[in-house]
Structure 1
Amino acid sequence: MSRGGVFCVEGQWHRNLDEEGSVLPTLELLERLRRIRYIHKDVATADELRYFLGRWALRQYADYHVGFFAMHGEPGRLWLTDQHSVDLMDLAAPLAGRCDGRRLYFASCSVMRFSDAELQDFLRTTGAAMVCGYTRNVDWVESAAFETVLLDVMVNSSRHDGAEQRLGSTRWAALAASLGFRVMYLNGKTWRPRLPVSAHTGS
């Protein structure tokens, strides 16, 4: 079993109580493959989100070094429900100075379509090593396939830029680029995948 783990907070995707949709199957698959361990919590309000983030930041959960935020989004903002949202700096407050070396993934449409300066402010406040996510609206199935690989490498790579190395490869770059995937590092570097030459030429 992998020594590392994922801490996931998931918003409420649907207005109707009888609708189903969750990232749990992805987490369960990776756990069954012995690639990760995980903790999963549902959140519907900003207070719930702050509570669970505060708990995650405790030293006893240091091995769960990947934070996975699964919820609707827009540039710089996460939607917990159709009525409750938080912006990234609201999210940074309960994590201020408590995310040293942690890696954060926003599985939310368009959240990373945000200025470099504001993302750097978020990273400096939290101390996280990196943050990644999407600059576009994404398809559920495509993003689920993508994040299966992304979470594996974020948990198991010894390098903070492990996702960049894996997802910039010929096999994954086209999908990563089509999703508008973006990474920002604490040192100020930003990365986006480049489409393979064949994708540009149509060959």
Structure 2
Amino acid sequence: MFCVEGQWEDDLTSRGSVLPTLELLERLGSIRFIHRDTATTEELHYYLDAWLSRKYADFKVGFFALHGQPTQLCLTSKQTVELDEVAAWMSGRCGGRTLYFGSCSVLRASDRVLQDFLHETKATMLCGFTKVIDWVESAAFETVVLNALVNGGKIDSAERLMRSSRWTALSDHLGFRAVYANGR
């Protein structure tokens, strides 16, 4: 898994991070990961270019741990980037990859916008949230869904898991959405 994480707060003493979730999954033998902090569009672009190089071809899941708004990623309170700009940076280089947006409301966009994103990037699937989410609830959810994305074997394994009776209520509460390149 490749993860880019934005600055959650303007307070530099804040210790909130997705890193403990990634470390837990790694210690359980579920994933291998790369984690990078990013606060500028230049850093994000740099890390995405690096991830999409042949050197990191085994890291098939991209995890965007950032604040968000519909169709927009927020790296900091002052630095944002539109999904279509991110798609242009990754144009045609995400074949066989899954993109997970652990960001409030980013997937509250039209089907057309999200299908265009998938078409541009060639990613197999993108998933994330359509609502403003609570950080602790999403961390619990991500522990399960990230494991499923990496180890499920099938592209829709995370969505099936979230629609199971055990996880449906939390999935619906967070507004989890999955969109597939094949139009499903």
* Pair in the same fold by TM > 0.5: yes
Partner of residue 86, structure 2: 91
Residue ranges of structure 1 left out of the alignment (5+ in a row): 1-5, 190-203
Q: Which moved more, 1:33-42 or 1:158-167?
A: 158-167
**What do residues 38-97 of structure 1 show as CA deviations (whole Å, max 9, x unaligned)?**
000000000100000001001121111000000100000000000000010111122110
Q: 1:42 pairs with 14, 37, 40, which one?
A: 37
Provide the C-alpha distance between the structure 2 equivalents of 1:166 and 1:105, rounded to a whole number of angstroms: 15
Partner of residue 194, structure 1: none
AA in 2 matched with 1:105: Y
Partner of residue 198, structure 1: none
Aligned residues: 184
Larger radius of gyration: 1
Q: 1:172 pairs with 150, 167, 171, which one?
A: 167
Q: Give the TM-score of the pair, scaled to structure 2.
A: 0.99
Q: Tell me which of the two structures has the higher relative contact order, counting C-alpha pairs closer than 8 angstroms and 6 or more residues apart.
A: 2
Residue ranges of structure 2 left out of the alignment (5+ in a row): none
How much is the aligned-residue C-alpha RMSD, in angstroms? 0.6
Return structure 1 stretches of 4+ with deviation > 3 angstroms: none
Partner of residue 193, structure 1: none
Partner of residue 121, structure 2: 126
Provide the C-alpha distance between the structure 2 equivalents of 1:178 and 1:19, rounded to a whole number of angstroms: 26
Partner of residue 161, structure 1: 156
AA in 2 matched with 1:130: M
Q: Give the TM-score of the pair, scaled to structure 1.
A: 0.89
User: Does 1:70 find its partner at 2:65?
Assistant: yes
Partner of residue 187, structure 1: 182
**Identity of matched residues, %:** 58
AA in 2 matched with 1:108: S
Partner of residue 79, structure 1: 74
Partner of residue 111, structure 1: 106
Alpha-carbon shift at residue 14 of structure 1 (Å): 0.8
Partner of residue 19, structure 2: 24
AA in 2 matched with 1:143: S
